[in-house]
Amino acid sequence: MNMKKMIRSILIILICFFSNLLKGQFYIPEAPKKIYPVQDYAGILSKKQIEKLNQKLISYSKITSTEILVSIIQDLKGEDPNLLASKWGEKWKIGNIHKNNGIIILLSIHDRKISIQNGYGIEPYLTDFLTMKIIKKIKPILKNHFYYKAIDSGTQEIFQILKKKYKKKQSKKIFSIWNLFTHISSIFFIILLFYLFLMKKTTDVPLFNTLLITNFLLKNKKYDHDENFDGFGGGGNFGGGGGSGNW
């Protein structure tokens, strides 16, 4: 009887031991060839929402060189959210290698936890106090499961705090065949209208509308976040503070 109790005790100890080993075993995925700002591993955002956030954060990175990565996971698997977020930023090399201005926003849906961790270059501006202020502000939104709104609001708060902290990057104008085609089509359209006005001819309405719409679409071409975007990742170092909280 004593032997059975001893064996049972040993088994319980072994189970607890291996259970603890399994904890904290969240494996950060390998960085994709092209890193986009939003990585939704929990599948809580729609494609349209991801697209909007990607466009917003890519545009911001092009202006400021500050890279904000949003990682959404289902479960922390026992990991500390702050440590995991910092490790993620280090592994994927988020931020500019010279400015260390990367930011990681980590959300764990099952654990209902959020962490915002900053690169060293962000630390003087986005302090621990301000980071916690952002988290506190978006907590009620997260509680209501409005994840897109929370991320959008949180990133907007970061934009405001970091306003004018980094100079705009001097971007070179890239001459492309599309730009040439757009300019030529616009000139052609103006000449055609001028010709019709001088000749006082009646223009076929469907044709006129088609030309008008075509010109409008060319001038207002939807922003393509893939254009001139090589992906995040340059080598920013993390450990510049941050904060976390439950919702």
Q: Tens digit of pLDDT for each residue in 136-152?
A: 999 999 999 999 999 99
Looking at residue 175, its pLDDT comes to: 45
Looking at residue 208, its pLDDT comes to: 46
Q: How many CB atoms sit inside 10 A of residue 242's CB?
A: 28
Looking at residue 193, its pLDDT comes to: 58
Closest alpha carbon to 38 in 153, 160, 151: 151
Please identify every stretch of the chain with a pLDDT value under 70, giving residue numbers as ranges.
Answer: 1-24, 166-190, 192-227
Residue 142 and residue 154 in contact, taking contact as beta carbons nearer than 8 Å = no
End-to-end CA distance of the chain: 49
Read off the pTM: 0.71
Residue 40 and residue 147 in contact, taking contact as beta carbons nearer than 8 Å = no
Task: Provide long-range contacts, Cβ within 8 A and 24+ apart, for 186-195.
Answer: 186/215, 186/218, 186/219, 189/215
Residue 154 and residue 141 in contact, taking contact as beta carbons nearer than 8 Å = no
The residue type at 233 = G
Looking at residue 171, its pLDDT comes to: 44
Looking at residue 185, its pLDDT comes to: 60
Q: What residues contact 22, with CB distance under 8 A and at least 6 apart?
A: 77, 78
